[in-house]
Amino acid sequence: MSNKTEYSFDRPRQCFDAIYNYCVLGKLHIPPTVCTGEFLEELDFWGVKAEKLEKCCHHRYVLFMREQENLRGFINCTEKEEDQNDAAEKFQNNGAKSRLWNILDNRDRKLETKGYFVLSTAVILLAIFGVALSTVSLTLENNNTALNSGQASTIGTTEYTTPMLSTTGAGWMNESNKNGSKFSEEKMFSNSAREKVLSMRDADPDTRWFLYVEHFTNAFFTMELIARLVCCPSLARYFRGYLNLVDIIVLVASFGRYIVLLADMTGSSTNADPLLYLQMLRVLRLLRIIENVPAFKILCYSVRLERKDLMTMLLFLFMGMLLFSNFLYFVEDNEDFPSIPDAWWFSIVTMTTVGFGDMVPKTAVGRIIGAMCALSGVLFISLTIPIFVNTFQSLYLYASFKSNRL
């Protein structure tokens, strides 16, 4: 009789072959047709550490572990958000308020919720396109005509200046300054905000309907904000939402504009251009439309998750900007690159492969430096962006798979 004892292990063949080869040859590889997660489970079963993997397979292991860590964080974040929503609805005693909050926040797929979402989207687009159309050449021409004819003599045209900020390509150095000052005072904005904002007293009958549209949309958003504050389960949590803060800031800016226009109509002299410049924030209401789009949530989470890599990219760009601008300033003529801060602008638009063409190096050495600047920008960005793209793609695929299963 044979004294041999046989042991049988019911394990995957390909994984076992790789582990057996490690025991015999001392080299551990991940089979190309095996899931990395399954192979790691086999390593844990046989008591083999993943650190024993060869260099050719270690990269695959690191990418898998990083992807799984990001996925676990995303799942925990979404589950935490769902738990908070469920807890808030559970403690909502008033059924009418809870139902209204679900409609306002687009939390279900009922007909009235969809209808309100369509209405809210239409009002947002109406507000944005109303403001955009009010700035066309005909409207600006009518507004300027009213200003030039003296109909709006109380409207000021204050210009804000700063010694270190320029909106032009070559406005930092004032060579004709008799006092020897290196920097000229440049306008922060092109002209007064009041010249770009339509008011009731300056508008003619053809353009006045833009103001009516603005009044209607502001009234709609004000009522919506009041309803949200009344019906929201938690005010503290509501004010932590950045989109909610955007709504409040935009409404404050709109009412601030009314105050400025009222002061103009009463003849009061007020320097309130900063309040009018806050009208630029009105376009941020577009974020409310895509707030509940899964891709938008995944994009925001991906940016927060890969913030270190993005900051590293910005650091590289910042270092390149300082380096190449310093070189360009000393090898080019002052007419082309009046100062190092002017060269900052050239370095940024060159490294990001935009190249507006307003500043161009003309010397041979300057062109070589410009070429190196462009190539370094491509290198810095191409090494960082794929990491962010891979994170977004993996999370988006998971979210799509989960929604299809549901």
Cβ atoms of residues 328 and 347 within 8 Å: yes
**69 lies in the same domain as 106:** no
User: Residues 322, 212: one domain?
Assistant: no
134 DSSP assignment: T
User: Is the residue at 56 inside a domain?
Assistant: yes
Separation in Å, CA 193 to CA 9, 250, 256: 79, 16, 13
- The answer to whether residue 370 sits within a structural domain is yes
In a domain, 280, yes or no: yes
Asked if residue 382 belongs to a domain, the reply is yes
| Per-residue pLDDT at 306 | 87
Among candidate residues 49, 70, 91, the one where a domain is terminated: 91
Burial 30-65 (b: 16+ CB within 10 A, else e): bbeeeebeebbebbeeeebebeebeeebeeebeebe
pLDDT at 36: 92
Q: Which of 258, 292, 326 is the last residue of a domain?
A: 292
- Residue span of the structural domain in which 284 resides: 94-148+191-292
Asked if 58 and 197 sit in the same domain, the reply is no
168 domain residue, yes or no: no
Number of CB atoms found within 10 A of residue 154's CB: 14
Q: Are 219 and 245 in contact (CB under 8 A)?
A: no
297 in the same domain as 316 = yes
The answer on 392 and 263 residing in a single domain is no
Q: What phi, psi does 293 have (nearest 5°)?
A: -75, 125
Give the gyration radius of the chain's Cα atoms: 31
Query: Which secondary-structure segment (H or E) carries 161?
Result: strand 161-162
SS3 content of the chain, % helix, strand, coil (to 5): 65, 0, 30
Q: Is residue 270 scored above 70 in pLDDT? A: no
Check residue 193 and give its pLDDT.
Answer: 58
Domain end, chosen from 292, 307, 326, is at 292
92-109 pLDDT per residue, tens? 555 788 888 888 887 777
Domain annotation covers residue 159: no
Per-residue b or e along 212-224, where b marks 16 or more CB atoms closer than 10 Å to that residue's CB: ebbeebbebbeeb
In a domain? residue 374: yes
Which tens digit of pLDDT belongs to each residue from 296-335?
A: 888 888 888 888 888 988 999 999 999 999 999 999 988 8
Distance (Å, whole) CA 301 – CA 307? 10
Structure tokens at 348: 């940024």
Q: Kindly report which listed range (101-115, 156-170, 354-368, 392-406) carries the lowest average pLDDT score.
A: 156-170
Cα–Cα distance between 171 and 163 in angstroms, integer? 10
Same domain, 391 and 304: yes
| Measured CA distances, 203 to 96, 143, 208 (Å) | 43, 7, 5
- C-alpha pair distances (Å), 182 with each of 172, 179, 334, 339: 8, 9, 13, 9
What the block records as the tokens of 187 is 């306008």
315 and 275 together in one domain: no
268 with 126, same domain?
Answer: yes
Q: Using alpha carbons, select from 142, 153, 158, 148 the residue that is nearest to residue 193.
A: 158
149 pLDDT higher than 50: yes
151 pLDDT more than 60: no
DSSP β-bridge partners for residue 161: 187
**Same domain for 225 and 108:** yes
Q: What is the mean pLDDT of the chain?
A: 78
More confident residue, 199 or 11: 11
Question: What CATH number has the domain bearing residue 62?
Answer: 3.30.710.10
> With contact defined as beta carbons under 8 Å apart, do 305 and 389 qualify?
no
Joined tokens for residue 255? 């009412």
For residue 231, how many other CB atoms are within 10 A of its CB? 20
Q: 200 and 63 share a domain?
A: no
Asked if residue 162 is part of any domain, the answer here is: no
In sequence order, the 6+-apart residues with CB closer than 8 A to the CB of 236 are none
